[in-house]
Amino acid sequence: MEQSLLAERFQLKAYVETREMPEYALVVAKGGSRMERAGDDEQSRLSFVRNGGGNELRVTGVSMQELARSPFLRMDKRQIVDRTGLQGRFNFTVKFGESVDGAPTLPTALQERLGLRLVPENGPVEVVVIDHIERPSGN
């Protein structure tokens, strides 16, 4: 429905294609994962809290696939792909900040506190390619 509205209103012509682009692989760091397994009855929940100069990521009942897809790990708009091989759901809270305020950066906090790493690599990423678009005409 949205696609037909955009096509009608903006004369939008677009398609999805796969391109080789920079991404991050979420992997288990040396020493293994240090995350707590979630109970079967826990609902999936991700929240991001900004506390003054620091940040806190609170995760309850979340799979690694859900974590990788979450916008909270995206540092520079790269897609994140789960390559941990970890099954099940996990709970954790991780505090991080900018390197200037004394708190560890997100990649450092992930590695030191959770046993996870974000590894830069190239891989297939789906992108939307816009062939044509116009300003909308008056109603």
CB within 8 Å of 57: residues ≥ 6 apart: 46, 47, 48, 49, 72, 93, 94, 96
Rounded Cα distance, 124 and 70, in Å: 18
φ and ψ of 25, to 5 deg? -100, 125
Does residue 80 contact residue 26 with C-beta atoms inside 8 Å?
Answer: yes
Q: What is the pLDDT of residues 128-139, one digit of tens each?
A: 999 999 998 766
Q: What is the pLDDT of residues 78-101, one digit of tens each?
A: 899 999 999 999 999 999 887 656
Rounded Cα distance, 70 and 81, in Å: 11
pLDDT computed for residue 33 by the predictor: 94
What is the value of pTM for the model shown? Answer: 0.78
Beta strand pairing call for 79-82 and 13-28: parallel
Domain boundary assignment for the chain: 2-132
Q: What is the pLDDT of residues 36-92, one digit of tens each?
A: 999 988 899 999 998 777 889 999 999 999 999 998 888 788 899 999 999 999 999
pLDDT computed for residue 101 by the predictor: 61
